Amino acid sequence: MTGFVSLSTAMARGFFRDRTALFFTILFPLMFLVLFGGLFKDAGASKTDILQIGAVPVVDQLPAEAAAGLDQVLSVTRTADRAAALDEVRRGDKAAAIEQVGGELIVHYSAADAVKSATVRGIVESLVQQSNLAAAGVTTPAVTMRSQPVEDQSLKAIQYMTPGLLGWAIATGATFGAALTLVTWRQKKILRRLRLSPVPVASIIGARVSVSIAIAAAQCAMFIGVALLPYFGLKLSDQWWAFIPVMIAGTLAFLSIGLVAGAASKTPEAASAIANLITLPMAFLSGAFFPLDGAPKWLQQVSEFFPLKHLVSSMQDVMVRGESFAVTLPDIGILLGFTVVLAAVAAFLFRWDDA
Partner 1 sequence: MQDMSPTIKVEELRKSYGEPRAVDGVSFDVQTGEFFGILGPNGAGKTTTLEMMEGLRKPDSGTVTLFGESPWPRNPRLLPRIGVQLQASAFFERLTAREQIRTFASLYGVPARKADEWLAVVGLEDMAGKRNEDLSGGQQQRLSIACALAHGPDLVFLDEPTSGLDPQARRNLWDVLRDISAQGRTVVLTTHYLDEAESLCDRVAIMDHGRILQSGPPATLVRDLDAPTRISVETGTITAEAARGLADGLEVSDDGVSLTIATRTPAPVLSALAERDALRGLSVRGATLEDVFLHLTGREYRA
As a three-state string, the secondary structure of 155-187 is: CCHHHHHHHHHHHHHHHHHHHHHHHHHHHHHHH
Asked if 3 is part of the footprint of partner 1 (rule: CB under 8 A), the reply reads: yes
Amino acid at residue number 261:
A
Strand partners, 48: 74
**C-alpha distance from residue 229 to each of 166, 225, 242 (Å):** 16, 7, 21
Asked if 196 is part of the footprint of partner 1 (rule: CB under 8 A), the reply reads: yes
Inter-residue contact 299 to 213 (CB < 8 Å): no
Residue span 116-155 as binding mask against partner 1, x where in contact by CB under 8 A, dash where not:
----------------------------------------
Asked if 322 is part of the footprint of partner 1 (rule: CB under 8 A), the reply reads: no
Q: Residue 78 is inside which H or E element, if any? A: strand 74-79
Asked if 194 is part of the footprint of partner 1 (rule: CB under 8 A), the reply reads: yes
Q: Which of 47, 121, 192, 235 binds partner 1 (CB under 8 A)?
A: 192
Asked if 101 is part of the footprint of partner 1 (rule: CB under 8 A), the reply reads: no
Using CA atoms, how far apart are residues 122 and 115, in angstroms rounded to an integer?
Answer: 11
Q: Which of 199, 217, 273, 295 binds partner 1 (CB under 8 A)?
A: 199
Could you tell me which stretch among 33-41, 71-79, 170-178, 193-201 binds partner 1 (CB under 8 A)? 193-201
Binding to partner 1 in span 8-27, by CB under 8 A: 9-10, 13-14, 17-18
Binding to partner 1 in span 204-243, by CB under 8 A: none
> Angle CA(319)–CA(323)–CA(326) in degrees, nearest 5?
110
Instruction: With H, G, I as helix, E, B as strand and everything else as coil, classify residue 34.
Output: helix
Q: Which is nearer to partner 1, 5 or 31 (CB)?
A: 5
Q: Provide the binding-site residues for partner 1, judged by CB under 8 A.
A: 2-3, 5-7, 9-10, 13-14, 17-18, 184, 188-190, 192-200, 353, 355
